């Protein structure tokens, strides 16, 4: 099996996963303990309330037989008809809400992924190459401590420190470089201007540090272990014995092979961004998909909740496919030997 065939097979296997996830979402939505129509109408017992309740049940498809409702539900999802919000933004298409809220979460996730990749992995590689040195011990301790800090705790502490940065740090975070606040939604409409870009980065940076904190600690420790295992392999010793410069050995042999165990770590940590973004966006007041999901659950906006759950499932499937693609690009052995 070639590497292309291997990747196409992984794409085909993702389809049943997506269908199963959507089916479980439907079962919870259709047969769960919460009546979405009642949650939307509220506790009104008037005739108008009863009529509104029946109308909503019909529009949500709850009056249909389960199999017919399931068929309509799956058809809508597979054609990307995600329905409408009923409580937070009545009669507004979910796709329209995604267009507004998704870029903010993507901006947050972008920096939350870059921080561990460009901070945690280089520190882990350096610690692995210079093992058993004082700096190695310091970096390893840093990774353990950083990995053990819960997101919500770190978010609250960072929020408190930056809010009182004048007294604690000797400078005002709000006035550093450009004027922003510690909390709030970044303005992405001015990204093309230097001032707007700096403001958007600064606005999201504290939340990105919190969201990427656990990933940074994990990737530091795993990168160190992977480098230590790779640097002691026979082909590395053979390259050094043949006079290959140390820098070339590290870049061409050690790093590429050390990246292989890091691929699932990076992608698995990316799964945490989905759940972690809900907490971080609420703490820092970023109106993204996590905040929207939290508000839709609080307000029992079930059509919006189920649509967002499907979007999260789709994101997880795409991340899995990205992991398989990275494996194909990094490890030439993938796809051969019957795997």
b/e 10-49 (16+ beta carbons within 10 angstroms → b): beeebeeebeebbeebbeebbeeeebbbeebbeeeeeeee
**151-200 per-position pLDDT tens digit:** 778 888 999 999 898 888 888 898 888 989 889 999 999 999 999 999 99
Q: For residue 321, is it within any domain? A: no
* CATH number (domain holding residue 209): 1.10.3720.10
Nearest alpha-carbon partner for 107 in 180, 182, 211? 211
Is residue 56, in this structure, part of any structural domain at all? no
Q: Work out how many domains the chain is built from and give that number.
A: 1
Write out pLDDT tens, residues 19-56. Answer: 998 899 888 877 877 777 777 777 655 667 788 888 88
What is the predicted pLDDT for the residue at 196?
93
132 within a domain of the structure (yes/no): yes
CA–CA distance, 325 with 323 (Å, rounded to integer): 5
Q: Is residue 326 part of a domain?
A: no
Owner of token pair 């029946």: 54
Which residues are within 8 A (CB) of 29 and not within 5 positions of it... i.e. 6 or more apart? Answer: 36, 302, 305, 306
Q: Given this model, what pLDDT does residue 213 score?
A: 79
Distances (CA, A) of 250 to 3, 136, 261, 299: 26, 17, 16, 54
pLDDT reported for residue 339: 44
d(CA 164, CA 67): 57
* Domain-located, residue 44: no
Per-residue pLDDT of the chain (339 residues; tens, 9 = 90+): 677 787 888 889 888 988 998 899 888 877 877 777 777 777 655 667 788 888 888 877 778 888 888 898 888 888 888 888 887 888 889 999 999 999 999 899 889 888 888 888 889 888 988 888 999 999 988 888 877 788 778 888 999 999 898 888 888 898 888 989 889 999 999 999 999 999 999 999 999 988 887 678 888 888 888 888 888 777 777 887 788 787 787 777 788 777 777 777 777 666 667 767 888 898 899 999 999 998 888 887 878 888 898 888 888 888 888 888 877 777 666 655 544
3-state helix, strand, coil in the chain (%, to 5): 75, 0, 20
pLDDT at position 44, please? 57
Phi-psi region of 91 (alpha: psi -120 to 50; beta: other; left: phi over 0): left
Predicted pLDDT at 32: 74
Q: Per the domain annotation, does 325 fall within a domain?
A: no
pLDDT of residue 188: 93
Print the domain residue range for 233: 96-298
């Amino acid at each position: 099996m070639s590497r292309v065939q291997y990747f196409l097979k992984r794409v085909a296997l993702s389809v049943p996963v997506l269908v199963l996830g959507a089916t479980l979402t439907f079962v919870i939505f259709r047969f769960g303990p919460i009546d979405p129509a009642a949650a939307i109408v509220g506790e009104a017992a008037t005739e108008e309330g009863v009529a509104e309740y029946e109308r909503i049940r019909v529009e949500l498809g709850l009056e249909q037989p389960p199999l017919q409702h399931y068929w309509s539900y799956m058809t809508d999802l597979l054609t990307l008809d995600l329905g409408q919000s009923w409580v937070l933004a009545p009669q507004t298409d979910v796709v329209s809400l995604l267009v507004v809220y998704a870029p903010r979460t993507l901006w947050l996730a972008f920096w939350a992924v870059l921080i561990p990749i460009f901070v945690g992995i280089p520190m882990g590689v350096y610690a692995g190459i210079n093992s058993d040195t004082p700096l190695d011990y310091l970096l390893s301790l840093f990774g353990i401590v950083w990995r053990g800090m819960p997101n919500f705790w770190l978010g609250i502490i960072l929020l408190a420190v930056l809010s009182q940065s004048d007294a604690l740090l000797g400078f005002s975070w709000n006035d550093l470089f450009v004027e922003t606040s510690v909390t709030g939604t970044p303005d992405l409409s001015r990204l093309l201007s230097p001032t707007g870009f700096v403001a958007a980065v600064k606005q999201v940076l504290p939340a990105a540090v919190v969201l990427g904190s656990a990933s940074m600690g994990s990737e530091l420790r795993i990168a160190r272990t992977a480098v230590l295992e790779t640097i002691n392999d026979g082909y590395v010793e053979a390259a050094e014995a043949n006079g290959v410069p140390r820098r070339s050995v590290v870049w061409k042999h050690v790093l590429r092979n050390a990246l292989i165990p890091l691929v699932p770590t990076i992608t698995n940590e990316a799964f945490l961004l989905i759940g972690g973004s809900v907490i971080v966006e609420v703490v820092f007041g970023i109106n993204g998909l996590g905040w929207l999901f939290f508000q839709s659950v609080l307000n029992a906006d079930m059509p919006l909740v189920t649509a967002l759950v499907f979007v999260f499932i789709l994101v997880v499937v795409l991340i899995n496919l990205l992991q398989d693609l990275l494996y194909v690009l990094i490890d030439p052995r993938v796809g051969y030997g019957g795997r």
